[in-house]
Amino acid sequence: MQYAKALLEMNKTVFIFSPDWLIINEYLLKTIAFKAKYFRCFPLDEQEITFENTGLTHSTISWYKLNRRLKQTEKTMQNQIDFVFFCPIDEWIAAANGKSILDATFKYPWSGLFIHTAHLYQKNMKTGVDPSIKDPDYLFLANNCVGAAILDRFKSQELKSRIYKKVVVMPDVSDWSLNKKPNQVVNSIRKMAGNRLVIGTVLMENEEASGFLEMVSQASEKDYFFVCTGNLWEATQNKDSRLALKNLLKQNRSNHFISPMKLVCSEEVNHLIQSFDVCYLNEEKETVPSLLMSKAAYFHKPVIGQTDHLQGRLAETFQTGIAIEPSIGEQLRALETLNKHSNSNLPYSISNMDNYARLQDVETLKEALNDLLWF
């Protein structure tokens, strides 16, 4: 939604194809209604973008169907499509599809947001050579691909050396707006916490909670209060998180508020983060920045992240919090550092948070999109 809105503000005409087309249409009409004649949202069946275990034939047909649909849209809207951006691109290029077949099947210049960069961290990953057909970045070699967009700023050069095309680092853009009144849960958190330091996390998709829950079970009840909400059910489906939650609940401690919560809008997440003193960044299953990272920086909340995950590397590089090794001892020492030391001794500053937040704002997104469109 943010990408579509930014493109409209850049005076582009935008056609959006998505399973969530109604939600996107409502959002754009609400936030940028004066551009209504320059965008149109179309439904996209989720089966059209599901490529798991379907192989070359299904992938080729899907690209062909999309190409045909775009041609039909051009005729209907009487407007030429100059560029196609996939957000994300991963499933579209996951199948072992030959790049010559893709060029023959899909005629439009294209790029996309590449999420799964884990292969770029492998020790045997080769730079300066073409990807093989089995590699997840192979189809970026297609002639009609103008480049790649990536969220992982630490691996942009490695990807560029493999596909020999522009690789644009995209900001982790987020909505930072607030409703006039926070919900009752936010008010209750501060009352329950009292004078204790509030360490909070909001579980998002593809995150797991074992590290946070183990920390809660061993931290001082007198000094700290912990909040864990969001997509708790999914996060505790793995064995480690489920066991950590079970052990914590057995202790009957009074230092936490742990509850699943369906957060239907960004404003609710923002109010929650405002109620925290510190944001804990959970272990993610994919190499993408945590949604909490940029929000925490904007609201001047220091973060705790693990050095073996992207979140911790970002916190350490931009000095917006404390990067720790993945151990309970390191977690507890980080809490003590945040609770006991004066501001002059802390490994973060408000100015560093502001700098990181600016890197994730809408203006940075527009610059990145403009770079992609220059081909």
Tokens of 135: 């590699």
Predicted confidence (pLDDT) per residue in 223-274, tens digit:
999 999 988 887 777 888 889 999 998 999 999 999 888 776 788 889 999 9
For the entire predicted model, the pTM comes to 0.87
Each residue of 321-372: pLDDT tens digit? Answer: 999 998 999 999 999 998 876 555 677 899 999 999 999 999 999 999 999 9
Q: Where are the alpha helices (DSSP H) in the chain?
A: 2-9, 21-31, 55-77, 90-94, 99-105, 156-163, 184-193, 210-218, 232-235, 239-251, 266-275, 291-298, 310-318, 328-340, 350-359, 362-373
The angle subtended at Cα 269 by Cα 351 and Cα 86, nearest 5°, is 90
Which domains are present in the chain? 45-173+362-373 (no CATH), 184-359 (3.40.50.2000)
Which tops the pLDDT comparison, 291 or 224? 224
Q: Give the 3-state secondary structure of residue 148.
A: strand
